[in-house]
Amino acid sequence: MTPTPKSPLAAAQAALTADQTTNDPAIWIAKVPPETLLQHAQTLEAEGPKARPLWGLTVAIKDNIDTAGLPTTAACPDFAYTPTASAPAVQRLIDAGALILGKTNLDQFATGLVGVRSPYGAPKNIFDAGRVPGGSSSGSAIAVAAGIADLALGTDTAGSGRVPAAFGNIVGLKPTLGAISTTGVVPACRSLDTVSIFARTVDAALAAQRVLAAFDPTDPYSRHAPPGYLRRAALPAATRLAIADIDALCEPETARLYRRAAALFDTNTVDLAPFLAIARLLYDGPWVAERTAALRAIVTGRPSIMHPVTRAIVEGGLTRKTVDAFDAFHDLAKTRRLAETLFATHDALLVPTAPFCPTLAELDADPIGPNSRLGTFTNFVNLCDMAAIAVPAGFGADGLPVGVTVLGPAWSEGRLAAIADRIYRAFTPDLPPAAAPCPLAADETALFCIGAHMAGLPLNTQVTSLGGRFLRPAQTQPIYRLHALGNRPGMAQGGSAAIVGEVWALPTAAIGALLAQVPPPLGFGTVALEDGPCLGFLAESHALHSTEDISQYGGWRAWIAARDAKQGTSA
């Protein structure tokens, strides 16, 4: 669901009024002239929507992303150039009917998480002018947080699309690496960069990603996406999140609101130490040299044009050793394998977006330390090839917003959206209605799961890793019997029980791959649900004769609960 303005012209006029009211020139590096903006709006209005999904929505663009006719500076005036063509991401917005408002301020060359390393000034934190706005996508986040733009593009390499979202009390979506083209984007760490999205709701951000996402053969880091990964899933009741003991790393109010958000779900505490160790390598490892490589001509030829802090960071890459880089690459491979293991048993990992919001005075006293601390829970995400959605989690006693981030494996955005939206709505009143889960698509098949493939149970990852998404709980007609076959159930006709389970949508092309993982006597067949037939798990009747009939429990979860209770009593 995207925000729907009354008309493109009304949206443009509202954006101009909000910008004037906000009165913060440091948000922008270049703006579309008001008369030009209104002319574009009038043209869109005359044309009508024409099925364009972002028709009339206002969008701000981070000034390291090319927009035809507007200078690209990356917050470095002497680097500036004016592109004749827009980056594919921007062009897709325009083609979808969006109104581009202008180019926004950033930490120079997208190097920083504080939002103040810019010769164009620092955008004001809208909740406390004495605090940093967050970066590097500072202007884009503030444009949305202040109500000027409906959507904004940022970039995210180390958290630049998430930290300023937390400080602005808005949504920041960091897509899977390679999902959105980075052609026409000034690189920071080319292998880790992604275009990110700021919005006021999770559904608006996800809708924007559907417009932006496309394979780009001109981008060497672009990837072919699995079908349907951006379709909104429903939220299973048994959603299980991994959480961490973060109290020692965060300010007390951040930790309190993080725990409050986690309490909405079934949780399991995991050791975050390996991920935090990898996070530190982003600014103390070979990826500093990757930043240097992206700016080699400037670092070696014109270093004086750079912001002093940016220059100090990027020059550090000149002394990195290749032998150390390979040690880091091997450590990263191990950590990525840990992430695979974590997501095999959890639906998502929940972390604070940032441990605190530093004051401008703290940053003046130490330009590096607070920035490094801001990346505690963000720096490892791109390195470990995770998707992320940062959402507001309420306000602390000091009146400042606190954000949390829902993390999942690559291509999990549609599933993460349901979790992130649940958190956001729990602590934020007056949001527009949530989008309904996407209905079953033409390239999907509904599958009725009754055992360990259900949400939160050990084999659910076999479904989700193939692109499965939860649709709804369901129940069969009362014509079945259910038996316990060790660690999974077997269901067959010939009984009088109605069996409870879940309907999942799988890409039809993946059904065979899932069936190949299902051992006999189990298989797939047509199951009679209360609301009609559905493909589902069935067992060969002859194989159930010597097994325990558990039909009276009505479902596998109820049987597990009864079994565990009995074992606990016996102990």
pLDDT value, residue 571? 46
- Alpha-carbon distance 279 to 267, whole Å? 23
Q: What pLDDT digit, counting tens, does each position of 433-479 carry? A: 999 999 999 999 999 999 999 999 999 999 999 999 999 999 999 99
Choice among 86, 118, 136, 196 that is catalytic: 136
Question: What integer is the mean pLDDT of 210-232?
Answer: 97
Secondary structure string (H, E, C) spanning 43-99: HHHHHCCCCCCCCCCEEEEECCECECCECECCCCHHHCECCCCCCHHHHHHHHCCCE
CATH superfamily for domain 8-223+231-427: Amidase signature (AS) domain (3.90.1300.10)
Residues 6+ away with beta carbon under 8 Å from 283: 158, 313, 372, 375, 379
Is residue 378 within 8 Å of residue 113, measured between CB atoms? yes
Q: What pLDDT digit, counting tens, does each position of 12-34 carry? A: 999 999 999 999 999 999 999 99
H or E segment and range at residue 31 = strand 28-31
Question: What integer is the mean pLDDT of 63-75?
Answer: 98
Tell whether the model's pLDDT for residue 5 goes beyond 70. Answer: no
Burial annotation 240-263 (CB, 10 A radius, 16+ → b, else e): bbbbbebeebbbebbbbbbebbbe
pLDDT value, residue 242? 98
Q: What confidence tier does 283 reach under pLDDT thresholds 50, 70, 90? A: confident
Tell whether the model's pLDDT for residue 388 goes beyond 70. Answer: yes
Q: What pLDDT digit, counting tens, does each position of 99-110 carry? A: 999 999 999 999
- CA of 467: how far to CAs of 45, 400, 409, 507, 513, in Å? 38, 37, 11, 7, 11
- Alpha-carbon distance 87 to 42, whole Å? 24
3-state helix, strand, coil in the chain (%, to 5): 35, 20, 40
Q: How many CB atoms lie within 10 A of CB 512?
A: 9
Is residue 357 within 8 Å of residue 400, measured between CB atoms? yes
- Alpha-carbon distance 160 to 154, whole Å? 7
Q: What pLDDT digit, counting tens, does each position of 225-261 carry? A: 999 999 999 999 999 999 999 999 999 999 999 999 9
pLDDT value, residue 566? 86
Active site residue 136: yes
- Alpha-carbon distance 440 to 231, whole Å? 10
The least confident of 1-10, 386-395, 561-570 is: 1-10
Active site residue 124: no
Q: Cα 517–461–177 angle (5° rounding)?
A: 120
> Residue 322: what residue type?
T
pTM of the model: 0.95
Question: What integer is the mean pLDDT of 482-508?
Answer: 96
Delimiting residues of CATH 3.10.490.10 domain(s) in the chain: 444-570
Tell whether the model's pLDDT for residue 570 goes beyond 60. Answer: no
Choice among 160, 181, 196, 465 that is catalytic: 160
Is residue 134 within 8 Å of residue 118, measured between CB atoms? no
Question: What integer is the mean pLDDT of 204-221?
Answer: 98
Choice among 31, 62, 103, 174 that is catalytic: 62
Residue that the structure tokens 């993460």 belong to: 416
Tell whether the model's pLDDT for residue 97 goes beyond 60. Answer: yes
Q: Angle between the 34-47 and 8-22 helix axes, to the nearest 10 degrees? A: 160
The least confident of 146-155, 322-331, 518-527 is: 322-331
Question: What integer is the mean pLDDT of 131-149?
Answer: 98
Tell whether the model's pLDDT for residue 196 goes beyond 70. Answer: yes
Delimiting residues of CATH 3.90.1300.10 domain(s) in the chain: 8-223+231-427
What is the CB-side half-sphere exposure of residue 99 using CA atoms within 13 A?
Answer: 35
Alpha helix (H) ranges present in 396-532? 413-427, 460-464, 511-515
**Rounded to an integer, what is the distance from CA 126 to the centroid of its chain?**
23
Burial annotation 350-382 (CB, 10 A radius, 16+ → b, else e): bbbbbbbbbebebbeeebeebbbbbbbbbbbbb
Q: What confidence tier does 569 reach under pLDDT thresholds 50, 70, 90? A: low
Tell whether the model's pLDDT for residue 4 goes beyond 80. Answer: no
| Bridge partners, residue 100, by sequence | 59
pLDDT value, residue 520? 93
Active site residue 62: yes
- CA of 118: how far to CAs of 44, 307, 312, 510, in Å? 34, 7, 14, 48
Topology annotation, domain 444-570:
Hypothetical upf0131 protein ytfp (3.10.490)
pLDDT value, residue 568? 75
Is residue 176 within 8 Å of residue 213, measured between CB atoms? no
Is residue 161 within 8 Å of residue 113, measured between CB atoms? no
Question: What integer is the mean pLDDT of 129-156?
Answer: 98
pLDDT value, residue 282? 85
pLDDT value, residue 285? 81
State what percent of residues in the chain have pLDDT above 70.
98
Question: What integer is the mean pLDDT of 337-354?
Answer: 96
